[in-house]
Structures are given as C-alpha cells and as structure tokens.
Structure 1
Amino acid sequence: MTDTIRSDSTRASAAPATKPARPHFSSGPCAKPPGWSPDKLATAVLGRSHRSKLGKARLQHAIDLTRELLKVPDTHRIGIVPASDTGAVEMAMWSMLGARPVQLLAWESFGEGWVTDAVKQLRIDPEVLKAPYGEIVDLTQVKPSHDVIFTWNGTTSGVRVPNGDWIAEDREGLTFADATSAVFAMDMPWDKLDVTTFSWQKVMGGEGGHGVLILGPRAVERLESYTPAWPLPKIFRMTKGGKLIEGIFKGETINTPSMLAVEDYIFALEWAQSIGGLDALIARSTANASALGRIVAEREWLDHLPADPAIRSNTSVCLKLVTDADAEAQSAMVKKMAALLEAEDAAYDIAGYRDAPPGLRIWCGATVDTADIEALGPWLDWAWEQVAAA
C-alpha cells in the first residue's frame, strides 16, 4: 500500500463543516466527563487540612466510590498515594519485590520503565519478556512461581491483555498490574490481581498528581512478612512494626494531597454512578473504540498499530499511517497533522507517544462522546490530505 489518497470522489478537499463538540482526545490527562465545569466541584474542603475530619471524610468518600464503581471486593484495600500511577507502581515494587523470582512483561514504554527500575535500580536480575509495539508477549510463558509485573493496557502501544485467564489461580508469586488506562473501561479480575495501580487522570479525566494503589490479601501478607534489602523512602513505606499502616487505606494519605484534585475525581466518580456505573463506562469506551474502528476500516491510509483485534485497546487506540514514507518522514507528517487539527480546534493531542512508532493516538475512554469520535473521521481525512499533498 502506498501513500496515495483515496479517489477524488471521497477526498476531503475542504475543512469539514462539523467539528467534535469536545475535541479532547488526549491519552492523559484525558477528557473531562460530559457536563463538567469547575463551578460544579464541591469546595467546602478547600483551605482545610486533609487530616481534618472533613478532609479525611472526602478522601474516604473517593475510596468508597472507587470500590463501588470498580466492584473491588472487601478483601482488597484501596489507597490514594503520591506521584500518579508511576508512584503507585514504584511504591509497590520497592516494597514487595525481592522475596522471590520476578518476571517483567513489556510491550510499550511504561512496561519498559518498570524493567529499568527492576534491572538498573533494584538490581534483582528479573526475567524480562518483551514484544515490539503493537504486539504482546507469549502469556503462556508466565511462571506462577514468579512475581509478574505488566501493563494491563499499554497506553503508548494500544495493546491490552485480552483477559486474565493466563494468570494462575494457584500462583505462588504476586501479580502487579499497571492498569492506569484499563480500569473503568475493562473488566478487572480482582481475584487474579494482587497489586493494581492507576491514576485518575486517565480513564476518569481527573487532575493529575495522585495514584491509586489496590492491594489484595496476598500483597498485604507479603508486606507484613517481608522486608526488602534496600532502603525505602518515606513515601513508599506501607508498614510499621511489621504491620500494614491501615490509615493509608482509610483516607490518611502519606503526603499532602490536592483536595481540589480529589474533588475533581469525586465529580467524575459521581458522574459515572449517574450513568449506570462500570457497565455503562465499559459500554461507552467500547462504543467509542468501535466508532474509531469503523473510521479506520474505511480509510486506506490508516490502520491499527496492533494487527490482532483481540489485543486492541478500547481506550488508548494507537494507529499507524499506511505509507511508503520512512519513519522520520512519518513522524513529521504526524506532527503536522496534529498541529493542523489543534489549530482548527478539531482534535487536541492526538500525536502518538514520543517513543512509539510514528502514528496517531486517540483516546476512546468513557468520558469521550461517541458523536465526537464520529465527527473526527472527516477531519482526519482533511489533515491527511494536507500532509500527503505537501
């Protein structure tokens, strides 16, 4: 396939008349929920201590809503922690790894980051299974005797694990799932997940800076029975005297959170409740990804980065240009397309991740409206015409 555009009868020769009503397609921070505005946020807690009765109550409310929406069982603890999803993942790695052999699964940049942490920082000599962007590792190679760290949904590659069937129920090791662009859009098998992390700036469109850490009972057992060989920074410490610091999971955060960001998250959670909860969120994400899939199928110049439909994300959908141009030229084309669309207020922040192959990345999570995905198609044609004709 060359970079020839479709026939003249279907070319976008002029800018389309209709724009997405909300052109926010960034993969993080993601689009705000429909109807969001700053004046709708609760503000009574602002200017108050996060350790006040009101502050802890609002933090606990965020935790309770998270549990309800994600259908997290009572056996699992949920805590709000510093430094976004990265902080949550590294907090778990530094606190729990080293007790037994480790496997790391990497098929995109964030998975590669956890490999770097394990190999170069913790130096635990893990087994690393890697796949290129758009592909996934052979999950049958995962060893139940090992701790395993993986991204449930690769935000920068558009690849997700198809399900949790590959995780052994009788595993000896712990599962560490970086689920930051998966939760609230995909079913999570909580009985298979010992450590789960996310940041609410992804699927729920919250303000950044905070992570969420969900621990199953086996992870708590590890924390209370194992002391790592390396020193732990204060913000990573989850035990005291060999016992879990339960306050972390009851709204007593390790460091000072932004209560404005917490209220923003609560707004998103309450919006999700109002439309039908997790099932509705998953349905919205699936509808958005399906709408984008139809757009891709109708265009010769555009394709999915992951070739296998079974592992394609329904949130961070990554696309590639079908062209004979080399990678450098494609990168320039993507940058120009993104700039053109932003200048027209037709689409914001849709260029692929800097370390990924050149392409587009369009967020299809639940806070995006399907009508806006559908309106994006003609604008993609228009931008492609501009760069292909240059």
Structure 2
Amino acid sequence: MRPNTKPQNPNFSSGPCSKRPGYDVNKLDVRTLGRSHRSSLGKEVLGKACTETAELLGLPEGYRVGIVPGSDTGAVEMALWSLLGARPIDVLAWESFGSGWVADITKQLKLDNVNIMEADYGKLPDLSQVNMDNDVIFTWNGTTAGVKVPNGDWIADDRKGLTICDATSAVFAMDLPWEKLDVVTYSWQKVLGGEGAHGVLILSPRAVERLETYTPSWPMPKLFRMTKGGKLIEGIFRGETINTPSMLCVADYLDALAWVKELGGLEAAIKKSEENLAVVKSFVDANDWIDFLAEDEATLSNTSICLKLKADAAQVKAMIKLLDSEGVAYDIGAYRDAPAGMRIWGGATVEKSDMELLMPWLSWAYQEITAA
C-alpha cells in the first residue's frame, strides 16, 4: 500500500548533501560579507574555521588545516602535484573517484613506478598487498560504490611513504586513525551539508617535511603552491587562503561546525550516521529484492549507502523518478559510472526518522514499477 507519511526532509543527495536539521540561512554570521578576506576580520574568521576543524576532529599535535580552492578535488590535486614523484606509488581504486586519481597520476603527471591496485564496484583491493615503503593514495570511503576501508590496521606505523587519503565522504562521519594519515582531504559540502567550491587540506608533519625537502620536476600552478623558498607557507593553514574564498560559504561552514559541537561533537555525528545505516540494513535484511552494493558488511559505508535491486536499469530509473515526483526522495540515483541502483545519503544531517519513513516508500515504488 501507498505509505501515508513522507520524510519531512526529502533531500538524500550524496553531494551537495542535506543541510543540517534546523538550518536557517538568515541566522548565519555574515559580518564578513563585503569585506576583504585579508582584512583582520576575514583572517580571523578563516583562521577560526581551521582551528575549530582541528579541535572537533581531535587532530594530533602538529597537523595543519588549510582551506583551499576547488572542493575536495582541488585539495587532492594539490597533494598529488606537490608531493608525488619522490617515491614509488601504490594507488588504490574501487570506484570512479579513485579511478580519477589513477588517471591523474598516470596520464597527467605521467609518473613511472606506479602500482595500480583496482577492484570492481562493491569490493576492495587486497589491502595486505599495499607496500608501505611507497606513497599510497586511496579514498577512505568510495562515495560512488558505498564501500569504505574497514579500519587503518593495514597502514604501518613505521611506513616510509606518505598516505594520501581522499576522505571527502568520511570526515565527520567515520572514525579516522589520524596518526596513520599524512594527507587528508575533504569538502564541507559532503558530510556537513555546506556550500560547495572549497576544499579542506589536512597535512601531517611528515607531509610538511616532504614539501620542504622535495621539489617536483614539473611546473607548479599558482593555486597548488604550498611552499616558498623551501619552506611551508604557514599562512595557508592560518586562514590566509591562496585565492579569494566565498566568505558566505565560510560562514555556512562555521554554522555546521557549531551544530556538530552542539550535537555532542564528532562521536555524536558518527553515531547519527551509523544509526541511519542501521535503518537501511534492517530494511535490506527484511527484503530479498534489494541489497547493498558492498559485498562485505565490514566495508559498508554509513554515508553513501549504495544499493542494488532485482530490477533492470530502466525500472530503477523509473523508481527514482517516481519517488522524486512524490516529493519523497530527491537525487538518490546511483552515480553515472556506477552500476544501476540507488545511493542514499546517511550522514548526520539526515534524520533517522526521515530514513525510517523513506523505507516503506522504497517498497511501494518497487511494487509499482515492477508490477507494471
């Protein structure tokens, strides 16, 4: 039967993600609008975004947080162009974004001595085969596959290479072993539902040492330059951005950080996301026509929840269109390069009550389309 109650918030997009519960753009602190980002106020607010990020994430001593252009993609590109070439490389890919980093390393930077470790959608490469003498590039959570690495146990504490981790759909939603990660990137438009275009780049002291002791052989675009005279440009990690940021987006990000703090901090945000996954898991367990794309339960993403159905691609597309037209769920189709299916965002900005209300609508839509 057609359910009677719809989710209060039908925004289940995997990016840009749903705004936090109770969000009101009119309540943002917009004192910086119309002011230079290099004014004392602008630098104070940008610096606050960096320091509050480090505090909420519980970053180790010496880790630096910078706001950079180009969303998560820009942050990853800065790391790849600035750090790679000093050592052999292991690059892991099990979905489209990881495959994009493979292409950048092999086709754009044209680096030699690259070991590509790939797996199909739904699976992980064999993490035990990663060579920790090499620089290692990987996504913590494969946003388009719904497959995450289960933990950081496979990363050696005494590694010689750097670990460069694209964690855009993991930061503020998953417990990351920071001491094992040398470069971490994310965009606040993912887990925190912030506005797009800006990336966050987190560097460990080991990454800073590489930057200060190694110079790549290729020309470096201005937007990627993090050193001057062989020394890190520390201002980037105090809010002195490389190019002009949107101060409205920064105000939006600070609002999201304040919400995480009010929620109870990082652990509370992770718990909310895990509870959303639990709702979907119970539904999947009770219905034989739907399953996770991830094959190993230990690798199930609690943010980008990717599902496969006993239906052909046209039927899945029709289901998604039906749910959209009903105002029940927006933007839940699988990523264009992924197998046909659904991708439901389960980060902390999505309420468990809305996830619970969505599930019976999935059953209704499936029956409507497959019985037609």
How far apart, CA to CA, are the structure 2 residues paired with 1:73 and 1:334?
45
SS at match of 1:385: helix
SS at match of 2:85: coil
How far apart, CA to CA, are the structure 2 residues paired with 1:322 and 1:307?
16
Shift of 1:105: 0.3
Shift of 1:74: 2.6
The root-mean-square deviation of aligned C-alpha atoms, in Å, is 0.8
Shift of 1:144: 1.1
Equivalent residues in 2 for 1:293-372, closer than 5 Å: 293-323=281-311, 330-372=312-354
How far apart, CA to CA, are the structure 2 residues paired with 1:172 and 1:264?
38
Render the CA deviation track for 1:79-103: whole Å, top value 9, x for unaligned: 0000000000000000000001001
How far apart, CA to CA, are the structure 2 residues paired with 1:43 and 1:373?
32
Render the CA deviation track for 1:228-262: whole Å, top value 9, x for unaligned: 01111000000000000000000000010011111
In the alignment, what sits opposite 1:110?
A: 97
In the alignment, what sits opposite 1:61?
A: 48
Shift of 1:160: 0.3
The reply on whether 1:185 has 2:173 as its aligned counterpart is: yes
SS at match of 1:257: coil
In the alignment, what sits opposite 2:122?
A: 134
Ranges of 4+ aligned residues in structure 1 off by more than 3 Å = none
Shift of 1:75: 1.2
Q: Give identity over the alignment, percent.
A: 63
Q: Which moved more, 1:66-75 or 1:149-158?
A: 66-75
In the alignment, what sits opposite 1:89?
A: 76
How far apart, CA to CA, are the structure 2 residues paired with 1:21 and 1:348?
12
SS at match of 2:185: strand
How far apart, CA to CA, are the structure 2 residues paired with 1:361 and 1:117?
26
SS at match of 1:144: coil
With the length of structure 1 as denominator, give the TM-score of the two structures.
0.94
How far apart, CA to CA, are the structure 1 residues paired with 2:369 and 2:107?
41
Unpaired runs of 5+ residues, structure 1, are 1-11, 324-329
Render the CA deviation track for 1:122-163: whole Å, top value 9, x for unaligned: 011311000000000000011011000000000000000000
In the alignment, what sits opposite 2:200?
A: 212
The reply on whether 1:228 has 2:216 as its aligned counterpart is: yes
SS at match of 2:15: coil
Shift of 1:301: 1.0
Amino acid at match of 2:152: G
How far apart, CA to CA, are the structure 2 residues paired with 1:335 and 1:254?
42
The reply on whether 1:24 has 2:11 as its aligned counterpart is: yes
How far apart, CA to CA, are the structure 1 residues paired with 2:61 and 2:50?
12
With the length of structure 2 as denominator, give the TM-score of the two structures.
0.99
SS at match of 1:55: helix
In the alignment, what sits opposite 1:203?
A: 191
Which of the numbers 123, 139, 155 marks the counterpart of 2:110? 123
How far apart, CA to CA, are the structure 2 residues paired with 1:190 and 1:38?
32
Shift of 1:340: 1.1
Render the CA deviation track for 1:140-187: whole Å, top value 9, x for unaligned: 011011000000000000000000000000000000000000010111
Q: How many residues align?
A: 371
In the alignment, what sits opposite 1:36?
A: 23
Shift of 1:339: 1.3
In the alignment, what sits opposite 1:174?
A: 162
